[in-house]
């Protein structure tokens, strides 16, 4: 590859970062808007919060299973047509939700949104964007992942305004039309990284000290998937239930959703910070550090009543939770060979979506049982502790494997 080729690759790599940032901002933004529609739909149809929270779970589970299929397709055939298909599917799902009349329709349209839309536009695009870079991988993927947090703050705010002014039906309709107008041109600009030419015969990835990473891809997938389930249980409870928690205290919906906006905007910066941190100290250390912060902070939401303190807590939590999101994506990028990247990320993300869905559901379920959110957030914190324990064990496993490999090479 010539110097000019390398410059062109880096230039369009950053273009792909911007495209993926924008597409995932829209996709994750709609996903987080499920919490904004909870009370309007409950008031309209009398559905329970646990039942409505399962709509979020439906998206996450359908995204989890379909994402593996999309990942395999992306590894073999690229991501451009996948992005176009996902943009169309999400648009149709949103337009259909504007006319829903029953709970089974609510679940069906969310299933469609996840399986055919969100699953196609999330991990395959992350994997593709990461493979455009050989340097500053953490920063590039941190900026890429920041789009999800940015969208999770801005789109729910837009949805809240639309609901207040026009009702939930028109809100879904406007979101669907707006999504199509923005997402289609972006999807047409997607290009695949030249990984098949550059990385087709590469072996295992290298560690920070230049030695070969000692674990097989399957082992990495198992360890990261086990951790991601629990870290995503932790983060999903505030994402889905923070607005409802605050409005239960008598806070106006527009003010309550502004706290979620603060959390998510901080999260956009948190993913960039988390990505850069992994470049500095290593992906797994960065993941562990951010997980500790997330676990400590999530427990504070049901205990703090001052809105000033809530804003501060939301900003801190957004920074750490988003650092977690960026870090485990980067862990997969630097630990797994390029030719397996999209499918491996998709499998890890599948378990993450299991955690997101389970956490969101248990948050609503525990509220229905107890009448408040204390145990919802307590369980989220316990899940965070389990995640940290798994990451520490994973770190020790890598060290043992590296020492064993070094000993075997010395004896050869």
Contact 314, 260 (CB under 8 A): yes
Of 86, 181, 90, the C-alpha closest to 124 is 86
Encode the chain (412 residues) as per-residue pLDDT tens digits.
455 555 656 678 888 889 999 998 888 888 878 778 878 888 888 888 777 877 877 887 888 888 888 888 888 888 888 989 998 998 999 999 888 888 888 889 989 988 998 888 877 888 888 788 877 788 888 888 888 878 877 888 888 889 989 999 999 999 999 989 999 899 999 888 775 444 444 556 777 767 788 888 899 999 999 999 999 999 999 988 898 899 888 888 778 888 888 888 888 888 888 888 888 888 899 999 999 999 999 999 999 888 999 999 999 999 999 889 888 888 988 888 877 888 888 889 889 888 988 898 899 889 989 988 999 999 999 999 999 999 999 999 999 988 876 544 444 4
d(CA 342, CA 353): 16
CA angle 130, 287, 213 (to 5 degrees): 65
CA angle 336, 319, 281 (to 5 degrees): 45
Using alpha carbons, list the distances in angstroms from residue 408 to 214, 402, 411.
12, 10, 5
Whole-prediction pTM = 0.75
Phi/psi for 210 (5° steps) reads 90, -5
**How many helices (DSSP H) and strands (DSSP E) are in the chain?**
16, 0
Distance of CA 248 to the CA centre of its chain: 27
d(CA 255, CA 325): 26
Contact 278, 410 (CB under 8 A): no
Of 45, 263, 32, the C-alpha closest to 160 is 32
Structure tokens at 251: 């806070």
- Residue-level pLDDT at 196: 44
Distance of CA 268 to the CA centre of its chain: 12
The superfamily CATH assigns to domain 3-193+204-405 is: MFS general substrate transporter like domains (1.20.1250.20)
- Residue-level pLDDT at 342: 80
- Residue-level pLDDT at 407: 45
Of 70, 155, 81, 54, the C-alpha closest to 115 is 70
Of 2, 20, 56, the C-alpha closest to 237 is 56
DSSP for 301-329 reads: TTT---HHHHHHHHHHHHHHHHHHHHHHH
Contact 341, 131 (CB under 8 A): yes
Of 16, 314, 271, 324, the C-alpha closest to 148 is 271
d(CA 380, CA 233): 6
Phi/psi for 102 (5° steps) reads -140, 160
d(CA 353, CA 347): 10
Per-residue exposure over 159-183, b if at least 16 CB sit within 10 Å of its own CB, e if not: bbebbeeeebbebbbbbbebbbeeb
Per-residue exposure over 56-82, b if at least 16 CB sit within 10 Å of its own CB, e if not: bbbbbbbbbebbbebbbbbbeebbbeb
d(CA 172, CA 363): 24
Structure tokens at 286: 């960065």
Residues forming a β-bridge with 152: none
d(CA 239, CA 356): 10
Of 105, 242, 99, the C-alpha closest to 171 is 99
The SS3 of residue 131 is coil
DSSP state of 170: H
């Amino acid at each position: 590859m010539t110097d000019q080729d390398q410059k062109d690759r880096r230039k369009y790599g950053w273009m792909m970062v911007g495209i993926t940032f924008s597409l995932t901002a829209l996709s994750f933004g709609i996903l987080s808007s499920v919490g904004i529609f909870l009370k309007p739909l409950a008031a309209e149809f009398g559905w329970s919060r646990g039942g409505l929270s399962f709509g979020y779970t439906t998206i996450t589970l359908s995204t989890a299973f379909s994402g593996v299929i999309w990942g395999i397709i992306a590894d073999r055939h690229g991501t451009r047509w996948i992005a176009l298909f996902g943009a169309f599917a999400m648009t149709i799902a949103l337009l259909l939700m504007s006319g829903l009349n029953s709970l089974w329709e609510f679940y069906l349209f969310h299933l469609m949104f996840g399986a055919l839309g969100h699953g196609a536009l999330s991990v395959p695009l992350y994997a593709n964007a990461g493979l455009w870079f050989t340097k500053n991988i953490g920063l590039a993927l941190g900026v890429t992942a920041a789009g999800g947090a940015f969208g999770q703050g801005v789109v729910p705010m837009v949805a809240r305004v639309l609901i207040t002014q026009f009702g939930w039906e028109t809100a879904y309709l406007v979101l669907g039309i707006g999504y199509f107008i923005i997402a289609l041109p972006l999807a047409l600009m997607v290009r695949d990284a030249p990984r098949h030419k550059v990385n087709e015969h590469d072996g295992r990835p290298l560690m920070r000290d230049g030695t070969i990473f000692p674990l097989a891809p399957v082992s990495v997938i198992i360890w990261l998937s086990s951790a991601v389930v629990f870290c995503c249980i932790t983060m999903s409870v505030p994402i889905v239930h923070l607005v409802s928690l605050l409005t239960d205290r008598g806070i106006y919906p527009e003010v309550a959703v502004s706290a979620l906006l603060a959390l998510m905007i901080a999260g956009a910066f948190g993913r960039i910070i988390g990505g850069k941190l992994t470049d500095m100290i290593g992906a797994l250390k960065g993941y562990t550090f951010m997980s500790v912060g997330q676990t400590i902070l999530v427990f504070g939401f049901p205990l703090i009543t001052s809105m000033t303190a809530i804003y501060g807590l939301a900003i801190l939590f957004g920074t750490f939770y988003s650092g977690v999101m960026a870090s485990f994506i980067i862990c997969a990028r630097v630990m797994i060979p390029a030719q397996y990247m999209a499918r491996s990320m998709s499998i890890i993300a599948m378990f993450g979506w299991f955690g997101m869905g389970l956490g969101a559901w248990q948050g609503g379920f525990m509220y229905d049982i107890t009448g408040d959110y204390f145990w919802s957030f307590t369980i989220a914190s316990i899940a965070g502790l389990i995640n940290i324990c798994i990451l520490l064990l994973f770190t020790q496993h890598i060290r043992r494997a590296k020492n064993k490999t070094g000993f075997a090479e010395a004896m050869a």
